[in-house]
Chains A and B, each alone.
Chain A
């Protein structure tokens, strides 16, 4: 399943995580079942893991743009010109699962046995990340992520105005709930997508 969805900025020296939603067990505790890590500990480790993934995506993206001789301004320009989506950089990489060590209050160790897959997309100033567990379908993850971005741009203008994310978290959550229900990647044919589209339109209209 999808363990987390993250929206982050991609410019500047370091990324800013604009939004994240966690669906599954992103971090694991040191000795599996003997004790539960405290909520505080899990929360902190989760945040750190999210930040670390955002950093990796940020550097991958910067590298891609440098290699392809593209600047984010061109993407933004393209967005303001017409409403077509820009060309995205798309990437995938593996990341290891951080392990919380309660005694040290830190996620020191990394579990190398299991790994998580990261699928990301970026254009302009914004990047979108799906953190999936190892048995997830990579092709489907890419397709769903693209769909998510399309809807998020439609309803939150996330590519042109990333700050909207912070003021409209509920809209982001609404999109996620429909396209990625409980973190499940669904095989959606064009009619299912159309149905979600309509549902979202209706949901966005309701006040407040």
Chain B
């Protein structure tokens, strides 16, 4: 019921016309000038704001009203009654004037900067913090483009950070403001008196202005440092790295930030120390967590800006890492420390491999479910993609763990994983990754089962009896026989073998979870990533690797976790990609002939994967030829032909016997088989009579092979055309087995080419008849 109200309200606002707006505006300007009617006016102003946010039309407000609102907005804030009006006016104006955020009007920025810096030095807290946040915002758009202002701001930040008073402000709500509080010094979070300079983690009953500014300064410190330094880098790149101008700019940044950088480091170390204290209040303990993350981030940047700080900071970081590494509550900070190690360890000859292993091994396998940590990890990998690939083996070694993030949050990180997947693939891991991708929904299911089993109420612990089949996935999870299967699919490191023998058992036992929302969602991701995988293989894989891929394709096309939509998509993609793979490396038709023949011979393989099967038959006809691959001899052609012949007879026989539901699939497969046979026959002409015999048989039977009249016709046509061609072997060779020049286009341009001559003759014959 609560929502129908919103809906109607917003609907009304959305459908508002310009007249409605005009009407509203008129009423507002009538009321705006009268302080006694503030309440009514506020109601209207609220309506106007909601309308502006919700409506799709481009609103038009009268110039007068805008001016009046500006006036109200800039009225001195001492008029208490107008505070709400003022707030609402500012909201409306902000909505209406998105401002030249792009900030090209440099002069305009320049003009405001002077007063802004002046405001920093006033004694009014409000102006000071507004000015600071404005200056930081300017730096985020322009960096240190305005050096003189940046220098002053940095100095001001320094002093606010380091020299806030240690005494509490008097209670502003006290009746007697002159009464001195007894214990007026600020304390640490654990209640002990503060013995060092003031930071965000010092507790006082009330804070003085300079203490608030200290809090502000620390909150904005990273952004200030980051934007000032980042924009100088951008400048360097644009102006060419070696240009003297770039260098001076760099030194400008150094000069501007120098003292602030070392002060920031001091402040961060102090906060780091303070985080070791046990906070009395729970929310302060949370704040310590956020502070630690921030401090590590700032120190990372500090070391980038001033390499001289690295040894000192690095030592502290290692200490911090040792303290936090085993505490799951601090994983976000630990990841930040890894970022620091990644950036600076080489400078102090420290090998952080162990830290990487710890995080991507044990931490991630326990905390992949945490949305925050999952996000942080994905961002970390995306931001450091090239460094991670060049200097570490994290991605290729821990990909099973990393993919757990995707398996558990299949909706959130698809785009990022599309970028990450190629980085995980190496010649040694790619096949294993292929299996892992195909089993990704299975991984989701297994993770869900293991998650459920952690809850006490499932009580499926009577798994000791190994002979009884488990009734559910939860029971199987506790059955010793299935334990290894679960631990394989949920493994955290790669390289323990591509896949396992009893995969189908695992699929079967996870049947009851396959309808879960998460599994379904995950199964929709698989095709996307599979395409990425194939693209990488086609672009970078070599022949040797592809030779390994083909048998896996044949095997896995029939061994998939049974989610119908996903299965169909996966098989379709496999079929499509098979064509491309074979087209690039035709010789695998020779080297993998044994596997292929074994696969095609089993006509049952047509079931559920007719396109894949059909494409493979097509590949035999098209690519098993000496033209495509030098090693393809006549014996192999004969072998393939024998097999196709047998399969064709078998399918014809089966169809007649079964009259089964697959009636629709067989005509297509039969057409593929006939074309392939005809093509092979042109390469080994002694089998032509057998081919003609087989095709004639199909032609004769065409009306018993399927009920569909169109398919019957197509079958008959296909068979007859091929028979007719094969009766003229020389033509058949050219048509069915064209030389590669056909693809260069010469055939269609050269005056002497066969198609042109044929077309010419055809035209002459037609015109004469």
Contacts and interface: CB of A to CB of B under 8 A. Distances in A.
Contacts of B216: 184, 186
Contact of A195 (B7, B206, B218): B206
Contact of B6 (A16, A37, A143, A192): A16
Contacts of A166: 6, 9-10, 13, 46, 50
Contacts of B49: 169
A189 interface: yes
A193 B141 contact: no
Given A16-B6, A208-B84, A91 B371 contact: yes
A189 B284 contact: yes
A182 B132 CA distance: 10
B308 to A, nearest CB: 24
A28 B105 CA distance: 16
A206 interface: yes
B563 interface: no
B109 to A, nearest CB: 12
B53 interface: yes
Given A63-B521, A187-B291, A161 B133 contact: no
Contacts of A21: 91, 94
B769 interface: no
A193 B101 CA distance: 31
Nearest to A40: B58
A140 interface: yes
A163 B287 contact: no
Contact of A9 (B6, B283, B375): B6
A100 B102 CA distance: 12
Interface in B443-475: none
Interface in A189-208: 189-193, 195, 198, 203, 206-208
Contact of B137 (A1, A18, A39, A185): A1
B132 to A, nearest CB: 9
B102 A170 contact: no
Interface in A33-67: 33-37, 39-40, 42-44, 46-47, 59-60, 63, 66-67
Point out which of B54, B141, B219 has the most chain A C-beta atoms below 10 A from its C-beta.
Answer: B219
Interface in B201-233: 201-207, 215-216, 218-220, 222-223, 226
A173 B215 contact: no
A78 interface: no
B302 to A, nearest CB: 15
Contacts of A143: 286-287, 290
B518 interface: yes
Point out which of B54, B101, B286 has the most chain A C-beta atoms below 10 A from its C-beta.
Answer: B101
B7 A16 contact: yes
Given A25-B102, A94-B415, A190-B283, 8 more contacts: A20-B53, A24-B137, A28-B102, A33-B102, A67-B518, A135-B222, A186-B215, A189-B281
Interface of B: 2-3, 5-7, 9-10, 13, 38-39, 42, 46, 49-50, 53-54, 58, 80-81, 83-84, 87-88, 91, 94-98, 100-105, 129-130, 133-134, 136-137, 140-141, 173, 189, 200-207, 215-216, 218-220, 222-223, 226, 281, 283-284, 286-287, 289-291, 293-294, 297, 332, 371-372, 375-376, 378-379, 382, 411-413, 415-416, 516-518, 521
